[in-house]
A = this chain, B = another copy of it.
Amino acid sequence: VIQQRAKSFADARDWGQFHSPKNLAMAMAGEIGELIEHFQWLTEEQSRQLDDQAREAVALEMADVLIYLLRMGDELGIDVLDAAERKIEANELRYPVEKAKGSALKYDKL
């Protein structure tokens, strides 16, 4: 439903011409850059304890990432939620609990 709304928003403004997957990938990288700037000088601990103003600013950057992600899914005919379900299933096989517990190693190093 939000995917549809993001599409209507873009369509009404004739922005489909700019929204090639290539450009949307760039826009997403730009938004992630803005998101990461909120955290770059914080300790991990500080990053867990944002005040209300910082959390709202972060929420809106995250929103931008999600909107471009959904727009890209729409342009490519990809159901991102479904892909995420499939990815988690694949990860459950690649990272068995008993081997991966407490470890940040990649599956091919476990």
Seen from chain A, the residues whose Cβ lies within 8 Å of a Cβ on chain B are 2, 5-6, 9, 12-15, 17-18, 20-23, 25-45, 47-48, 50, 55, 58-60, 62-67, 69-70, 72-73, 75-78, 80-81, 83-88, 90-92, 95, 97, 100-104
Contact = CB atoms under 8 A, between A and B. Distances in A.
Q: So how many copies of this chain end up in the complex?
A: 4
A64 B80 CA distance: 10
Contact of A28 (B9, B43, B59, B65): B65
A103 B14 CA distance: 8
A28 B47 CA distance: 15
The 7 nearest A-B residue pairs measured at CB: A33-B33, A41-B104, A22-B47, A63-B87, A20-B44, A26-B40, A63-B83
Contacts of A81: 2, 66
Given A27-B37, A30-B36, A62-B69, 16 more contacts: A2-B84, A2-B85, A6-B88, A13-B102, A15-B102, A21-B58, A23-B40, A29-B29, A29-B32, A30-B34, A30-B40, A59-B78, A62-B80, A63-B87, A65-B69, A67-B87
